[in-house]
Amino acid sequence: MKQGLVSQNDIESLLHLPYGFAMGVLDVNLYPWCIEAMAAVNERGSSLALKAANGTGKTSRLVALLALWHAVAFKGSLTLVTAGVFRQVKEQAFPELRKYQYLFSDWKFLETEIETPTGSRIYGFSTDDAGRFEGWHNDNLLVICDEAKSIPDEIFQAIERCQPQRLVLVSSPGPRKGKFYRAFTSERRFFHQMTVTAYDCPHISDTWIQEQIEKYGEDSPLVRSMIYAEFPDDDSEQSVIPLSSLEACLDNPPEPEDGSAHAFCDFAAGGDENVLAVRRGNQVKIVKAWRDRNTMSACGEFIRLFKQEGLSASQISADASGLGIPILDRLNELGWKINRIRNEKPAKDTEAYANTGTEIWMLGAQLIKSGGVILPNDKVLHEQLVSRRYALNSRGQVQVEPKPKMASRGLQSPDRADSVLGALYQRPKKRILAA
Ligand SMILES: Nc1ncnc2c1ncn2[C@@H]1O[C@H](COP(=O)(O)OP(=O)(O)O)[C@@H](O)[C@H]1O
Ligand SMILES: [Mg+2]
């Protein structure tokens, strides 16, 4: 073959990729979101959580095509296709799979079961019996959960026990609970997240979208979910930073602007993390997050990082409670007299906020909601930002959820979020009252 032309090897390796296979072998045109979703599950060990507007092509363009790719790409592999209700598997997913039967004349196609001559199998399952998920092991196991919002947690536990090499959750957004929701919030670090709106799908007409918006309103829960693929807000569980605000801030960050530096240290207590976050202008980064049970060596590391970042003590604040105090005292002895912030102390705005910790979180939340900050690409941070709730206390002040209460919901101490929001915090100027 002449140089410069695509070699047979190139073609084969392209066809080995899920989107190469879908376009090259199945001859399907894919939208960019679908290519991204397929690329996200190419690697072994990958997990994808994709929420999408209604009728975007989840079942026909993603679930069905990934299942066929997996069966062809890995001989002897196993693909399980499941959904909240068996009807979805039998009447939606498998008919989409059978559309390609003409390309694979030597395969066995049954109602919810497909076998290839190379020993690969695709099985459709009902999800109301976790027991049926036991014992499926394979060197190449792909589990695809269509309409994952209605699959109960017990089924996901059973799926996890099978240790799939690839896991795909796709769904229209559902309630703010269950595995599918957690894949976007408290279990964010384990998944590649994607959101597909109606606007990402040229087959959904702008006229139809416009009609829905006029009929129900831009901010109606139906339109937020059906067109924009957002989880519905739930007023009974007020999040300091709603997922939709975080997503909007990450997707449309502002132009970087230079400005003064402000750093915040969060010191580990026991098994937690030491974190140093630095804001410069409208950009905030986590310089380092690490575990170290030895507070004195952690102290040395903080100083090394301060110097590396060119910070002076006056630009640095830190949480001065519990274990933080001896560390701050030691830093002071070593010439680093950094600002002490005590979360439980009254806020500057005593009318609005129950304490300083709340003020830091609520002002940070406002900044994120207004899309005014460039946040680091750190999934653990993102998880922590969206997991904390707030409530009004008896004096009518806003109060963020206490950490022991978060722990009782199975959440870790939000050290990275504390540092990032601490670095963003500019103490409000004292109000000058008219005489
Ligand atoms: N890329 C595409 N081009 C044209 N039509 C599409 C495309 N993706 C989906 N469709 C059509 O949109 C409809 C909904 O697809 P479906 O896969 O059932 O969506 P979902 O599972 O997201 O609800 C089907 O009629 C399908 O043929
Ligand atoms: Mg579907």
| Mean pLDDT of all residues in 281-297 | 92
Instruction: Say yes or no: 213 and 271 in one domain.
Output: no
The CA-atom distances, in angstroms, between 248 and each of 165, 170, 244, 272, 295 are 31, 20, 6, 29, 38
Instruction: Say yes or no: 178 and 278 in one domain.
Output: no
Q: Over 50: is that where the pLDDT of 433 sits?
A: no
Atom of ligand 1 nearest to the CA of 204: 12
Q: Report the CATH number at residue 318.
A: 3.30.420.240
pLDDT greater at residue 353 or residue 322: 353
Q: Which amino acid is at 375?
A: L
pLDDT of residue 2: 45
Instruction: Report the share of the chain in percent with pLDDT over 90.
Output: 78
Atom of ligand 1 nearest to the CA of 30: 1
Q: Over 90: is that where the pLDDT of 221 sits?
A: no
Q: How far is the CA of 92 from the centre of ligand 2 (A)?
A: 7
Helix crossing, 243-251 with 356-369: angle to 10°?
A: 50
Q: Over 90: is that where the pLDDT of 314 sits?
A: yes
pLDDT of residue 175: 86
Instruction: Say yes or no: 200 and 331 in one domain.
Output: no
| 239 occurs within a structural domain | no
Instruction: Say yes or no: 283 and 347 in one domain.
Output: yes
| 247 occurs within a structural domain | no
pLDDT of residue 343: 93
Closest-lying ligand to the alpha carbon of 37?
1
- The band of 284, judged by pLDDT with boundaries at 50, 70 and 90, is very high
Instruction: Say yes or no: 220 and 162 in one domain.
Output: yes
| Mean pLDDT of all residues in 336-359 | 94
pLDDT in tens, 369-402: 999 999 999 999 999 999 999 998 888 889 999 9
Q: Tell which of 234, 251, 278 closes a domain.
A: 234
CB contact set of 122 (below 8 Å; sequence gap of 6+)? 67, 68, 70, 71, 79, 80, 81, 97, 113, 114
| 244 occurs within a structural domain | no
Q: Give the tokens for residue 414.
A: 């939000």
| 153 occurs within a structural domain | yes
Instruction: Say yes or no: 317 and 223 in one domain.
Output: no
Q: Are the C-beta atoms of 363 and 425 separated by less than 8 Å? A: yes
Q: Over 80: is that where the pLDDT of 347 sits?
A: yes
pLDDT of residue 279: 97
The residue whose CA is least distant from atom 26 of ligand 1 is 57
Closest-lying ligand to the alpha carbon of 89?
2
pLDDT of residue 164: 96
- The band of 419, judged by pLDDT with boundaries at 50, 70 and 90, is very high
pLDDT of residue 6: 60
| Mean pLDDT of all residues in 272-285 | 96
pLDDT of residue 330: 93
The residue whose CA is least distant from atom 9 of ligand 1 is 57
Q: Which of 35, 60, 170 to mutate to test the pocket of ligand 1 (most atoms within 8 A of CB)?
A: 60
Instruction: Say yes or no: 88 and 150 in one domain.
Output: yes
| 245 occurs within a structural domain | no
- Ligand 1-lining residues (CB < 6 angstroms): 31, 52, 54-61, 203
Q: Over 60: is that where the pLDDT of 338 sits?
A: yes
Q: Give the tokens for residue 134.
A: 């036991």
192 CB-side CA count, 13 A = 16
Instruction: Say yes or no: 268 and 397 in one domain.
Output: yes
pLDDT in tens, 122-179: 999 876 777 777 778 899 999 999 999 999 999 999 999 999 999 999 999 988 889 9
Bridge pairing between strands 108-110 and 113-115: antiparallel
The CA-atom distances, in angstroms, between 276 and each of 23, 71, 143, 178 are 46, 46, 38, 32
For the chain, the average pLDDT equals 91
Instruction: Say yes or no: 170 and 267 in one domain.
Output: no
Atom of ligand 1 nearest to the CA of 31: 1
| 215 occurs within a structural domain | yes
| Mean pLDDT of all residues in 69-78 | 96
Q: Are the C-beta atoms of 355 and 391 separated by less than 8 Å? A: no
Instruction: Say yes or no: 140 and 224 in one domain.
Output: yes
Domain that holds residue 147: 8-234
Q: Tell which of 218, 234, 250 closes a domain.
A: 234
Q: Tell which of 234, 252, 277 closes a domain.
A: 234
pLDDT of residue 1: 41
The overall longest dimension of the chain from CA atoms, in Å, is: 90
| 1 occurs within a structural domain | no
- The band of 83, judged by pLDDT with boundaries at 50, 70 and 90, is very high
pLDDT of residue 219: 86
Q: Over 60: is that where the pLDDT of 434 sits?
A: no
Q: For residue 142, what are the β-bridge partners?
A: 79, 166
| Dihedral of alpha carbons 410, 413, 417, 421, sign | positive
List the one residue out of 277, 290, 354 whose CA is nearest residue 319: 277
| Mean pLDDT of all residues in 71-88 | 93
pLDDT in tens, 103-120: 999 999 999 999 999 999
**How many domains does the chain divide into?**
2
| Mean pLDDT of all residues in 409-426 | 94
Q: Report the CATH number at residue 163.
A: 3.40.50.300
Q: Which of 28, 196, 203 to mutate to test the pocket of ligand 1 (most atoms within 8 A of CB)?
A: 203
Q: Over 70: is that where the pLDDT of 435 sits?
A: no
Instruction: Say yes or no: 172 and 299 in one domain.
Output: no
| 252 occurs within a structural domain | no
Instruction: Say yes or no: 96 and 210 in one domain.
Output: yes
Bridge pairing between strands 121-125 and 78-83: parallel
Atom of ligand 1 nearest to the CA of 53: 22
